[in-house]
Amino acid sequence: MNLPAAPVSAAILGRSYDQMTGAQLSAAQAELELAAATRLGQMLFEFARLDTSLGLCLVWSGEGRQVGVLTKQVADYSFHKKLVLLKDLVDEAFEHGSREHSAYIEWLDDAHAMRTKRNQLVHGRWGTDPRRNQVFNVIGLPTSLDQREVYYSIEDLQEQLEQLTRLLTRLNELRFKLAV
């Protein structure tokens, strides 16, 4: 996929706001926002694919003997609840400590971490910092003492997207090689 490159020219990087023209600052903010929004949007598409694949893994568990019942049941589940159900199915299907069980547990740990990251990315407020060539996500209410900012380069967001893609690939490999 050909995504916008990491933005902001070297001529703008490292300059203080008082050294940038209004046009330079505006352009840098727009470039950062476009590059970040593109990657965040791709993450939403990729996460939707992951959620669908996880749902299919669940409804076809047990060789699909309960596909109709599980389809109705799983349709209303959050991603977290789907992960919990998969863990239960894995515990039933494979001996604890086996290669198969361990592969699923490792995937589940990574999926939970990605779910947490997704929640932070989606539920925060976004801004740009062209001086640092980064975007930031503010988590928490403006009136909260717990509010915090997390800074990301465009490369950081790209890596998150690639991790999500790898997570989907791993799930699909597990589904077809080690079905629950």
Q: Where are the domains of the chain?
A: 20-177
Report residue 86 as tokens: 């998969």
Residue 109 pLDDT greater than 80, yes or no = yes
Residue 72 pLDDT greater than 60, yes or no = yes
**pTM value?**
0.87
8 Å CB contact between 94 and 115: no
Residue 113 pLDDT greater than 80, yes or no = yes
Residue 3 pLDDT greater than 90, yes or no = no
Amino acid at position 88, single letter: D
pLDDT at position 17:
62
pLDDT at position 160:
97
How far apart, in Å, do the first and last CA atoms of the chain sit? Answer: 33
106 vs 94: CA distance, rounded Å:
14
Q: How far is CA 170 from the centre of its chain?
A: 15
In the beta sheet, which residues pair with residue 91? none
171 vs 38: CA distance, rounded Å:
24
In the beta sheet, which residues pair with residue 135? 128, 152
Residue 47 pLDDT greater than 70, yes or no = yes
8 Å CB contact between 38 and 68: no
Lowest-confidence region among 11-15, 72-76, 140-144: 11-15
**Edge-to-edge strands of the sheet including 134-139?**
125-129, 134-139, 148-152
Query: 3-state class of 95 per DSSP?
Result: coil
**Average pLDDT over all residues of the chain:** 91
Residue 10 pLDDT greater than 50, yes or no = no
Q: Alpha carbon of 79 to those of 25, 88, 116, 121: distances in Å?
A: 39, 14, 11, 15
**Position of tokens 């932070």?**
120
41 vs 141: CA distance, rounded Å:
23
155 vs 140: CA distance, rounded Å:
24
